[in-house]
Structure 1
């Protein structure tokens, strides 16, 4: 017992003398998951994030953003036989019923109406098949390299799949649209043609998590529970995607809290002039950085951030861009920015000086000063 007491005392002494910075990743139920930061897309956590899976109704994020971007939100849609009789979760549209596209998008996102998805697809894409083509074109444009869409609602199909990472990319893109943000962040919505309001099925938004800003639920027996959610705290926005998760609400809250506790948005580059030394020479050149860079970093990462500058001596006369500055952690690039010549700034300053001088000259002529 005496030896055990001494051992415990030594361990406690070491812990206090050399504190351990805990950065343990949370344990989650999901088979596939990813956590990214909205403004940069930096992956903060992943678990089999690039493995293609069935995705169920989180598909409707793609359907919603295409509908919103179509410019047809105020048009009236007539529900077809195919739409009215689509299986699964429903707005209970009647064949021939008329409803604004805007209302259908809210019904799609808040109540996960499969009938709404088909009505949207037929109106915007001409047909379900035509709309699926639009979905795949949009996916390629966004960079969703491991995804294929076969329908607008997410009912199971061998040709309908995505990954946690691809769905995070899609959500990042969609959240850059103000109207999509309004839809996904609504706790309820009342259609012009309904006597009751639709409540949002996303319990993170309506009940469980005060920092939640939106998202989309999904479920089929084959896909399991799928969930996309967004949250904002202290100016930082995060996106979580989980696929086939038995305890997805808690998974998302754990990942959000872990992300908010461990990462802070950090400015790593200011706008302005910098001097760079030309490789293998003693010569230096002035460059101009036009964009500030802000990335999510842990306190430890702030100390470990590496910066590498590449300046192309041959581009000085022929190009406005003379190089690039790369920021990396443990050899992995997390951000980069172009280095410009200062010619544009000089030209701007000269134009401003010239304009002011012209005003002075006009004034001098008026008062008779030569």
Structure 2
């Protein structure tokens, strides 16, 4: 009897390992500050002191990189100053007077965390380190990074240079919308034409430890400790994790990612297409069109508690106005808390296609100059 009982326990353990159940407890982290978000919606899946202002070290360079990329100067060559080469900390060993493209400098910035590259970028794109810091803060304000202030482009310690785990996740979320940034942060190595050797990415989560990692940025100073921003993608879900002052940051990130991938699915809660709504207290219905498909990260239990309400314009005569396309909205709730909404349009107009006569008239006008 005892043997059968032991065999049953062993069998249950094996099944648990092969088919783990969802609903595991949130992961523990070594970090003083941490956050995990789903990229497309920005939903916070896990947080720990996520809004506290803290020193952030070299993850600062995510902001430096995205400003450089968006400047339109990636193919321009920057002349390296004395100020750049004497910047303390990690370096790509630039020489005074050397000329290097902003693109190469951004790769050196992101893969090798070059502080000299950060200053060279700042001086070329912003005119000076101070001018570039102004651009960084303007961008932070625009992104709603309310617990952030930048003093420099590299992240060396300063009393007024800080951010929060949540703000840095929002920055990474924004940056990952840029195709060139995604390509750079995902690069495991890069060789500049001005170097005889390749730069290897310091982000071991990308290069060694985690197969689903698609990018990120490391950081460290003695005063700040280890900081890390990373992104991972699996089964149609993209996650962003941030840890500040984390002795075991690689483990923290892998634990958060695995927990979220095991417990959440990207659920399609509304799909593009025609919809019809019954109007309350009226013997009428309204036809509409949803112009986007919306997905949202949900656990199995949350899927059961998802509700929604349709709100239609009070004045139905507004539906006849030619300049009115939105007739209402659908609002989604999770346990009575609003999480998402999407507009309802009265139709889905297709682009107007010029007919044969209009094409002929246009051709005649071009030929005759009329």
Which TM-score bucket, shorter chain as reference?
A: 0.7 to 0.9
Cα deviation 1:101-137 (Å, max 9, x = unaligned):
1111011001111111011000000011110111111
Task: Give the secondary-structure state (helix, strand or coil) at the position aligned to 1:105.
Answer: helix
TM-score, normalised via structure 2 length: 0.86
Residues 274 and 176 (structure 1), Cα distance of their counterparts in 2 relative to 1, 3 Å cut: same
Cα deviation 1:58-99 (Å, max 9, x = unaligned):
000000011111111111111111111111111122221221
Report whether the alignment pairs 1:316 with 2:331: no
Residues 70 and 27 (structure 1), Cα distance of their counterparts in 2 relative to 1, 3 Å cut: same
Cα deviation 1:187-212 (Å, max 9, x = unaligned):
11112222221111101011111111
Moved segments of 4+, more than 4 Å: none
Residues 66-77 of structure 1: pairs in structure 2 closer than 5 A: 66-77=67-78
Distance in 2 (alpha carbons) for counterparts of 1:256 and 1:20: 16
Which residue does the alignment assign to 2:274? 273
Residues 149-160 of structure 1: pairs in structure 2 closer than 5 A: 149-160=150-161
Distance in 1 (alpha carbons) for counterparts of 2:225 and 2:135: 26
C-alpha displacement of 1:295: 1.2
Distance in 2 (alpha carbons) for counterparts of 1:317 and 1:217: 56
C-alpha displacement of 1:54: 0.8
TM-score, normalised via structure 1 length: 0.86
Report whether the alignment pairs 1:209 with 2:210: yes
Q: Work out the number of aligned pairs and report it.
A: 338
Which residue does the alignment assign to 2:367? none
Which residue does the alignment assign to 2:262? 261
Q: Which runs of 5+ in 2 are unaligned?
A: 359-370
Cα deviation 1:245-294 (Å, max 9, x = unaligned):
11100000000101111111111111122222334444322221111111
Which residue does the alignment assign to 1:287? 288
Residues 12-31 of structure 1: pairs in structure 2 closer than 5 A: 22-31=23-32
Q: Which runs of 5+ in 1 are unaligned?
A: 359-370
Which residue does the alignment assign to 1:57? 58
In the alignment, is the contact (CA less than 8 A) between 2:219 and 2:227 conserved in 1? yes
Distance in 1 (alpha carbons) for counterparts of 2:319 and 2:24: 45
Which residue does the alignment assign to 1:248? 249
Residues 22 and 67 (structure 1), Cα distance of their counterparts in 2 relative to 1, 3 Å cut: same
Residues 229 and 299 (structure 1), Cα distance of their counterparts in 2 relative to 1, 3 Å cut: same
Residues 343-354 of structure 1: pairs in structure 2 closer than 5 A: 344-345=348-349, 348=350
Which residue does the alignment assign to 2:363? none
C-alpha displacement of 1:224: 1.2
In the alignment, is the contact (CA less than 8 A) between 1:313 and 1:322 conserved in 2? no
C-alpha displacement of 1:336: 1.0
Which residue does the alignment assign to 1:306? 307
Distance in 2 (alpha carbons) for counterparts of 1:277 and 1:234: 36
In the alignment, is the contact (CA less than 8 A) between 1:278 and 1:313 conserved in 2? no
